[in-house]
Amino acid sequence: MRFFILLYNIITTLLLIPLSPVLLIWALNPKYRGRIWQRLGYTLPQLNKGREPRIWIHALSVGEIASSLPLLTAIRRQMPNACLILSTTTRGGTAYAAARASSIVDHIISFPFDLLWPVKKYINRLTPDIFILIETDFWPNFTWQLKYRNIPMILANGRLTARSLQGYKRAAFFFRPLFNSFTTLGVQMASDAANMRRLGVESKKIITAGNLKYDLPSPSAAQARKQPIFNRPAAGGPLLVAGSTHAGEEEIILRAYERLRKDIPDLELIIAPRDIERREAIERLIKGMNLTNGRRSKGSSKGLIILDTLGELSTVYAMADIAIVGGSLVAQGGHNPLEPALHGTPILFGPHMEDFAEISHDLSNCGGARQIEAAELLPALRDLLNNPEKRRKMGVRAANLIRHNQGAARRYVKIIKESLVHD
């Protein structure tokens, strides 16, 4: 492992020389300046004094932060004096963390570049008592420095699919010692644990803890529906919500919406693009179809709305009569269908749910969701809109699936407490 780290640092140093002008340009650009300087180990916050233990949680981007929220909430509830530091890597992740986690954690920071000097500056300043990695984002220097300092490391909500295992095996010289450096490797399913063992990871480190994504809070969907969100009256027309959509999907959804409105004139649609910067492109598409829309950021409340704000999709799912999960009608791997399921909202998703294969399979099997081809969206929507009882049963089954699979956050808090005691 030490030889590999030495080789890794030689290679990264050699690469850094030709890349340094690019880094300098980024560092001088106001758009990136703050994050670049912080990732180099500067402008780190002064930590809140008198709060302990110091727990550092890292979530790569928006999806991982969404997974971390139940764990962060559980830690804060059971360890109220802890200093919680949440790091993320992407700009979108930082914005999402600020919107959803700022009331839970003490500090939100950018993750360091995996170079020795910023990594050391981070660890020296933050002096974490424990580090928790959510799902993925493994870095050799960072991992080695924590191991060298005997700081416990926990992987939470890890995945290792059969397909991923083949890639990991080709670089087993890298991943086997990296994974074995962790104190505990918490994975979602028994198949993930078996694949970890096939890679050569020590069995005693592996724990099947379940999926944190199921540990969502349990708001009352009925109450949420009655709230005049967007100033939308509770007695308005049926509402479709298409969440986390990608290019190519909006046209499919809008074509179905256009056809359905001929029979249901008061039908409403909220489109929440995965990347809100695409709102202008979606508006051009809508205009080209001779439809009109509003934006959530401009206070629009009825009809066809683009949800171009962060942190509100879950609330909107609670209002929906039917949810369409984005990233699934085109080949983007799909997005998390559990948020609409939590609210008892019937769900449709396309054939591309590879990133949430087990969850989408479970939802389909229990009758809480329906997987369709893109061409089947219109008849599927028409069928559900014409059958309120079918929608109700689907929603109940989806919500029940979540309740039956919760508990991962509680298990991880127990592991964290035990790791801190044994440190």
Per residue in 7-52, pLDDT (tens digit) is 787 878 777 777 667 666 665 666 666 688 899 898 899 887 778 9
Per residue in 64-112, pLDDT (tens digit) is 998 999 999 999 999 999 999 999 998 888 988 998 899 999 999 999 9
Residue 8 covered by a domain: no
Q: Is residue 395 located within the same domain as residue 412?
A: no
Mean pLDDT value across residues 366-393? 98
Contact assessment for residue 181 and residue 11, using Cβ atoms and an 8 Å cutoff = no
Query: SS3 sequence, the chain?
Result: CHHHHHHHHHHHHHHHHHHHHHHHHHHHCCCCHHHHHHHCCCCCCCCCCCCCCEEEEEECCHHHHHHHHHHHHHHHHHCCCCEEEEEECCHHHHHHHHHHCCCCCCEEEECCCCCHHHHHHHHHHHCCCEEEEECCCCCHHHHHHHHHCCCCEEEEEECCCHHHHHHHHHCHHHHHHHHHCCCEEEECCHHHHHHHHHHCCCHHHEEECCCHHHCCCCCCHHHHHHCCHHHCCCCCCCEEEEEEECCCHHHHHHHHHHHHCCCCCCCEEEEEECCHHHHHHHHHHHHHCCCCCEEHHHCCCCCEEECCCCCCHHHHHHHCCEEEECCCCCCCCCCCCHHHHHCCCCEEECCCCHHHHHHHHHHHHHCCEEECCHHHHHHHHHHHHCCHHHHHHHHHHHHHHHHHCCCHHHHHHHHHHHHHHHC
Residue 376 covered by a domain: yes
Residue 418 covered by a domain: yes
- State how far the alpha carbon of 117 is from the alpha carbons of 18, 25, 210, 267, 356, in Å: 18, 20, 36, 57, 37
Q: Is residue 230 located within the same domain as residue 379?
A: yes
- State how far the alpha carbon of 233 is from the alpha carbons of 6, 54, 300, 313, 323, in Å: 63, 45, 13, 18, 19
Residue 37 covered by a domain: no
Look at 7 and 147; give whichever has higher pLDDT. 147
412: its two tokens:
């991880």
pTM (predicted TM-score): 0.75
Q: Is residue 262 located within the same domain as residue 231?
A: yes
Q: Is residue 227 located within the same domain as residue 176?
A: no
> How high does pLDDT run on average in the chain?
89
Q: Is residue 365 located within the same domain as residue 237?
A: yes
Residue 250 covered by a domain: yes
Q: Is residue 289 located within the same domain as residue 188?
A: no
Residue 10 covered by a domain: no
Residue 22 covered by a domain: no
Q: Is residue 244 located within the same domain as residue 339?
A: yes
Q: Is residue 261 located within the same domain as residue 228?
A: yes
Q: What is the CATH number of the domain that holds 395?
A: 3.40.50.2000
Q: Is residue 314 located within the same domain as residue 169?
A: no
Q: Work out the pLDDT band at 311, boundaries 50, 70, 90.
A: confident
Q: Is residue 330 located within the same domain as residue 396?
A: yes
Q: Is residue 290 located within the same domain as residue 171?
A: no
Per residue in 184-208, pLDDT (tens digit) is 999 998 999 999 999 999 999 999 9
Q: What is the CATH number of the domain that holds 204?
A: 3.40.50.11720
* pLDDT reported for residue 97: 92
Per residue in 390-408, pLDDT (tens digit) is 999 999 999 999 999 999 9
Number of domains the chain is built from: 2
Length in residues, the chain:
423
Q: Is residue 190 located within the same domain as residue 310?
A: no
189: left (phi over 0), alpha (psi -120 to 50) or beta: beta
Cα distance between residue 340 and residue 243, in whole Å: 9
- Of 37-46, 71-80, 148-157, 261-270, the range with the lowest mean pLDDT is 37-46
Residue 20 covered by a domain: no
For residue 141, what are the domain limits?
44-215+407-422
* pLDDT reported for residue 46: 87
